[in-house]
Amino acid sequence: MEELKDEPFALIGVNSDRSVEVAKAAIEKNGLNWRSFQNSVEGKSEISADWCIEAWPTILVLDKEMKIRYRGHGGEEATVVARELLASMKSSGE
């Protein structure tokens, strides 16, 4: 998704690893550069529980109004939806 870095596009993670260290090691190892929420923060309900996530990975694609346009487990499917949204934003001059 490197080629989308100049587009109005944000890749945001919600990380469910048992510790920040594990997550950071994965980021280092795989050269990931997206910003992630910590799924579990003491004193707050887990984001994945609030979002009824039952399988990992789960991906959602939100449009510019934060409306849900995709929810599922297919990275490629989600990427297609995201590209279509970006294309339609571009064609409407945004």
Partner 1 sequence: MPTRSWIPIGLLLLVSASPPVAPALAAPPPPALATLDTPEEECDALIEELDEANQQWVDKYHAAVTEAKEAGTDIPAFSWNNPSIGSFVKRFQAFADKYAGSDGAIPFLAWIAVEGGRSDVKLAKAAVEALCTVHASSEALADHAESIGEWIWIVGRERGAQLLKQLEKTSPVPAVAGWAADYRLEPGLDGAVSGTEAFTKLKAELLAVGETSKDEQLIALITKQLRILEVFALGAVAPDIQGIDLDGAAFALSDYKGKVIFLDFWGDW
Work out how close the CB of 92 gets to partner 1 at its nearest, in angstroms, rounded to a whole number: 13
Return the residue of 3, 31, 35, 91 that touches partner 1, per CB under 8 A: 35
Per rule CB under 8 A, is residue 80 in the interface with partner 1?
Answer: no
Q: Which amino acid is at 3?
A: E
* Per CB under 8 A, 3 contacts partner 1: no
Structure letter (DSSP) for residue 38: E
Q: Residue 5, interface with partner 1 (CB under 8 A)?
A: no
DSSP assigned state of 8: S
What's the gap between Cα 73 and its chain centre? 11
What is the C-alpha to C-alpha distance for residues 34 and 13, in angstroms, rounded to an integer?
A: 7
d(CA 62, CA 71) in angstroms, rounded, equals 9
Interface residue list for partner 1 (CB under 8 A): 1, 7-17, 20, 22-27, 34-39, 41, 44, 47-48, 50-53, 56-71, 78-79, 82, 85-86, 89
